[in-house]
Amino acid sequence: MARGVYIHIPFCHQICNYCDFNKVFFKNQPVDEYIEALGREMEMTVAQMPEAFTNIETIFLGGGTPTALSAQQIEKLLGLITKHIPMSSVKEFSSEANPDELTIDKLQALYNGGVNRLSMGVQSFDQSLLEKIGRTHSNEHVYETIQNAKNVGFENISIDLMYGLPGQTMEQWQETLEKALALKLPHYSAYSLIVEPKTIFYIQYAKGKLHLPTEDLETDMYSVLMDTMEAHGLKQYEISNFANEGYESTHNKIYWDNDEYAGFGAGAHGYLEGIRYSNVAPIKKYIETVMAGERPLLHEHEVTADEKLEEQMFLGLRKSAGVTHEEFETKFGQPMLSIYKEIIDQLQQEQLIELDSEGIRLTRKGRFIGNEVFQRFLVGE
């Protein structure tokens, strides 16, 4: 049974240098046709497996950039979502947004359409770094948009930040954190830059033209991030996420809890009825397939019993609460230690995880090399 719905909007007015998500420039794209196709895909999928959609807790509009759409297109999209997705149990309805695109009419369209959480891609408060990574907004856009959002009625607002950016200094990172926290928002996400294939940064890196901070400096930036957030009363509930009590992202927790969710749109991924799937990515192909009455599936994989165990561990350990004995035994019918005692003992000796009567979780030391810890739970590692 799905707990969440992810809806992919693959349109952008500006392509960021680090982004590897399925996206295209907005201009000359069949945006209205795409929105119609999204509605059709939702309708078909819910009709095929209605039981999977009886307890949807969250909906998330991602991209690309959902706020690349016009206010009228946003209204149309939200109308289709509320028409085809059972909404009675939805508590959190989020949309990603760019600060320089979120006009008052778009904010009003989102709010009136049921969206109650905004996740804004701010990344940095240093203008030179914003230009390096391909962002077009200014700090003034951020301040104005957040105030407009509050005026419209939004209370649950989050911003994304990035560290480990090309040429970024510790002073720039500390200044970004200071300006971000001065906004007194209930939620912040902060991610280190990963140079992904098929991005502008990857091309620059391959040519030796991308000058990144050292590994030690990036580690120090993460340490400063954790300490600064804690000093401001924000709880780190996941490796990269910090929130006031009650403002944790329910949608993202679905992924880390290894629970099921539906993915709609070109290139979207989902996990329904034990099957992980991905949709076709080309927009024209997606529209043609859906409007021909077929789900636009590119790939399906039935998750094996071993894979479910692995995913429970490496996704769950991203959470500060870690993986509890109770949730593990409820899902798999056997104690966690009956399967992973040797690995857990070794990680304890290395002071990378801690074990108690509640469960296991990363130590502060373990958070710095989380991926290495996660790999220990994979078959064959």
Average pLDDT over residues 146-164: 97
Q: 358 and 244, same structural domain?
A: no
Q: Is it the case that residue 200 has pLDDT exceeding 90?
A: no
Assign 205 a pLDDT band (cuts: 50, 70, 90): low
For residue 18, what pLDDT is reported? 61
Residue 139 lies in a domain: yes
Mean pLDDT of the chain, nearest integer: 94
Residue 361 lies in a domain: yes
Residue 302 lies in a domain: no
Domain coverage including residue 28: 2-255
Number of domains in the chain: 2
- Which of 235, 255, 275 is the C-terminal boundary of a domain? 255
- Which of 255, 274, 305 is the C-terminal boundary of a domain? 255
Q: 247 and 335, same structural domain?
A: no
- Which of 219, 237, 255 is the C-terminal boundary of a domain? 255
Total residues belonging to the chain: 381
Q: Give me the CATH number covering residue 174.
A: 3.80.30.20
Q: 340 and 201, same structural domain?
A: no
Residue 264 lies in a domain: no
Q: 365 and 220, same structural domain?
A: no
Separation CA 23–CA 17 (nearest Å): 12
Separation CA 81–CA 59 (nearest Å): 9
Q: 171 and 45, same structural domain?
A: yes
Which of 23-37, 155-169, 276-290 comes out lowest in average pLDDT?
23-37
What phi and psi, each to the nearest 5 degrees, are found at residue 83? -75, -40
Separation CA 109–CA 106 (nearest Å): 5
Residue 304 lies in a domain: no
Q: 160 and 35, same structural domain?
A: yes
| Contact (CB, 8 A) for 122 and 142 | yes
Q: 100 and 226, same structural domain?
A: yes
Q: Give me the CATH number covering residue 338.
A: 1.10.10.920
Q: Which of the 8 DSSP states describes residue 319?
A: B
Q: pLDDT of 317-353, one tens digit each? A: 999 999 999 999 999 999 999 999 999 999 999 999 9
3-state SS, residue 125: coil
Residue 208 lies in a domain: yes
For residue 381, what pLDDT is reported? 45
| Contact (CB, 8 A) for 96 and 119 | yes
Structure pTM?
0.93
Separation CA 226–CA 297 (nearest Å): 40
Q: 133 and 13, same structural domain?
A: yes
Residue 152 lies in a domain: yes
Residue 81 lies in a domain: yes
